[in-house]
Amino acid sequence: MSNDNKTTSIDFSSKTVECGIDIVKNFVDKLVLPPIEELGLLVRDQISYWRFNNQVKILNKAKILCEDNNISIKAITPKLLCPYLENASLEDDEALQDKWANLLVNMVDSQQNIQNHVFPYILSQLSKDEFELLEASLLDKEARVSSLEEELSNFIENRATMEHNLRSKIEALNKKRKMI
């Protein structure tokens, strides 16, 4: 009996493997990419909604502040308003949203001339802790200034008496020195 062993050769050349990988990749891309793209769009929509909600809250706070303080509103340029809205919409802390509202009120107050483009940028860079530190530093400085103003006022009021007392003390010291 003859042994009919035939050797079959399978071509595993890189071209064959690459072609197979491309076929599988295209198939997987068709299955996976559309849901991933939809998920990305869904996340983007959620973020857009969250930012819009923040803008509405801040604008409403600013409106209430203007009404409560009888502030006459002036128009501000889109060059100032757009970066303001862009940066303010990212703020999720309630206390800092109040600061954003205050900034807008100051920018739209017809009695003030605040048209500085740097203020929204600066506020956007601060965390709540940093803002509170700056605010505490300002309050401390204001308290020191107030205390110094009070001291100055007392000095001016009592200057003549203080000078008289100092002269008397100097004379007494001079007399003691002569006695020695």
Strand segments, DSSP code E, in 12-142 are none
Could you say which residues of the chain have pLDDT below 50?
Answer: 1
The closest alpha carbon to 66, from 20, 110, 16, belongs to 110
pLDDT of residue 47: 87
**pLDDT at residue 31, as a whole number:** 67
pLDDT at 136: 96
Note the pLDDT of residue 179.
84
pLDDT at residue 70, rounded to an integer: 95
Q: What is the pLDDT of residues 129-177, one digit of tens each?
A: 999 999 999 999 999 999 999 999 998 999 889 899 999 999 988 888 8
Give residue 74's pLDDT: 92
Residue bearing tokens 């819009």: 52
Cβ-contact 122, 95 below 8 angstroms: no
Q: Would you state the pLDDT for residue 5?
A: 58
